[in-house]
Amino acid sequence: MGGAGVTETGGGRGCTGDGPDPYAEAAAVARAGLVREITAGGGLTDPRWRGAFEAVPRHLFVPYYYEAGVAGGKGGAGLTTRLWRDDRNPLRRARWLAGAYADAPLATRVRDGELISSSSQPSLMARMLEALRVRDGDRVLEIGAGSGYNAALLAHRLGDGRVTTVDLDPEITEAARRHLAAAGFRPAVVTGDGARGCLARAPYDRIIATCAVPSVPPAWLEQCRPGALMLMPLATGLVLLRVRGARHAEGRFLTTPAYFVPLRGSGTPGPVSAHGLPSWPLLDESFRFLLHVAAGRLEPVEVLALWEHEGRPGRERYGVTVRGERQWAWLDDAEGPYAWPLGAERT
């Protein structure tokens, strides 16, 4: 994991930049179109979140990003085309702005061929934020600052002083600070190990992670108020946990598939074996999810037998429990016959 040093900014609402935004008018039109698209797909049912997406200018958070080029390699190796706000070519600038308001994830930072930061698909962000069920006055910790866009949406909804975003990489947090300031937001931006949370600004009512974790970091539970909610990507899904105490949380997965960059320092997950499997179940999202959940605990053919025996269960039938030093994923019942330890117990 990363070091213990912390750098923080925060304070009142402000706006910085190099002058008037030349893209403001066109961006407003594109942003309205994006909100209509997300709403038509069943998202943004809460008018307060819809207002946040209508107001926060995503293009200020992605001054450049990478498009997929020639496929090959792993991580960010196929991301060969950079679209840039200040490109001299007006057609490429138009492509950049259109992409900034497409309902698609954007690769924003690649290092040594590895994708290390991105701006998530807006419709997925909307589903996650609505699932978090924030209330006026809640204090929220975001793990994974990314471009700063998600923190801006939270700050629009709750106010700057109630939002903290953490990332291990100082280049990422510095860029997020600049983007947030340009958009007129100043939540606390902390450089530190996301797995350790941010004790200095605890306790929190909500924690949302925008990076995948192999298990629930204990510090997150310890920094939450009883009754808090934590939403995090795990095993290609999104699990929403209710915190019962500093050492106890439980909840279920959402129906939504989710593929995120791993939490920095948690290690890159190895490939999930499909040895001995026919090709047809690998085309089913619900089977691939169980294959990830039970990886290292069941052989792939055993996973297939269980999946078929239990009626090809969807993500909503699975959950996670944290109790003291133990944490495990389960199907249907936390105390039932189908359970798989998370974290160190899996190895």
Query: Considering only CA atoms, which of 219, 254, 224, 260 is closest in space to residue 242?
Result: 224
Counting Cα atoms < 13 Å in the Cβ hemisphere of 312 gives: 8
**Quick check: is 266 catalytic?**
no
Phi, psi torsion values for 123, nearest 5 degrees: -65, -35
Q: For residue 207, what is the DSSP state?
A: E
Tens-place pLDDT, residues 221-252: 999 999 999 999 999 999 999 999 889 999 99
One-letter identity of residue 163? V
Average pLDDT score over the chain = 90
Decide which of 233 and 2 is more confident: 233
121 CB contacts (<8 Å, ≥6 apart)? 103, 104, 105
Specify whether the CB–CB gap between 134 and 49 falls below 8 A.
Answer: no
- 280/277 Cα distance (integer angstroms): 9
Quick count: other Cβ atoms within 10 Å of Cβ 41?
A: 12
In this model, does residue 14 exceed pLDDT 80? no
For residue 321, give the 3-state DSSP assignment: strand
117, 118, 119, 123: which one is catalytic? Answer: 117
Report field, pTM of the whole predicted structure over 0.85: yes
In this model, does residue 345 exceed pLDDT 70? no
Specify whether the CB–CB gap between 34 and 28 falls below 8 A.
Answer: no
For residue 330, give the 3-state DSSP assignment: strand
Tens-place pLDDT, residues 18-43: 678 999 999 999 999 999 999 999 99
Decide which of 44 and 266 is more confident: 44
